[in-house]
Copies of this chain bind each other. A is one copy, B any other.
Amino acid sequence: MSELNNHSLRITKQRQIILDELCSVTSHPTADVLYQMVRKRLPKISLGTVYRNLEIMSECGIIQKLDIGGTQKRFDGSAHVHYHVRCNQCGRVDDLDLPPDFNVEKAAGKLTSFKILRHRLEFTGTCPECQS
């Protein structure tokens, strides 16, 4: 799948608007939420197109696909490495800008015969709205 990098990605209005909408937002929307957002500007777009483009853009490293707890994948318009908090009640996902700890990858590397490539740290908590 990494040969997608060699494909010339065309700039279609669908792709542009999906990326626009995703980047316009600090939440980490699921594909269907993003689909609803995009439909306000492109009423005829299909959900399949949204999925296809999110897949392609995350493979190209333009965006991130998040595989956080919960049944649906979420998408992040920012490609830089950072951590996340997920609300155990409503599922909301926020960024958590703790500095990425790459030393922990070295420590892990000493405990396993896996060749460590990256790590993911996720917090579960209760968001302010759900605390009341």
A118 to chain B: which residues have CB within 8 Å?
Answer: 123-124
In the bound complex, do residue B108 and residue A117 qualify as a contact, i.e. CB atoms below 8 Å apart?
no
Bound Cα distance from A122 to B107, whole angstroms: 13
Residue of B nearest to A126 (CB): B115
- Give 5 closest A-B pairs by Cβ, nearest first: A114-B125, A116-B125, A67-B69, A115-B126, A113-B128
In the bound complex, do residue A114 and residue B128 qualify as a contact, i.e. CB atoms below 8 Å apart?
yes
Is residue A121 within 8 Å, beta carbon to beta carbon, of the partner chain?
A: yes
Bound Cα distance from A68 to B87, whole angstroms: 17
Binary B-proximity of A102-121 (CB < 8 A = 1, otherwise 0): 00110110011111111111
Of B69, B96, B115, B119, the residue contacting A108 (CB under 8 A) is: B96
In the bound complex, do residue B98 and residue A123 qualify as a contact, i.e. CB atoms below 8 Å apart?
no
Is residue A3 within 8 Å, beta carbon to beta carbon, of the partner chain?
A: no
Binary B-proximity of A82-100 (CB < 8 A = 1, otherwise 0): 0101011000001011100
Residue of B nearest to A129 (CB): B113
Once A69-B67, A117-B88 are accepted as A-B contacts, the answer to whether A96 and B123 lie under 8 Å apart by CB is no
Of B68, B85, B111, B117, the residue contacting A116 (CB under 8 A) is: B85
Is residue A60 within 8 Å, beta carbon to beta carbon, of the partner chain?
A: no
Binary B-proximity of A55-95 (CB < 8 A = 1, otherwise 0): 00000000000011110000000000001010110000010
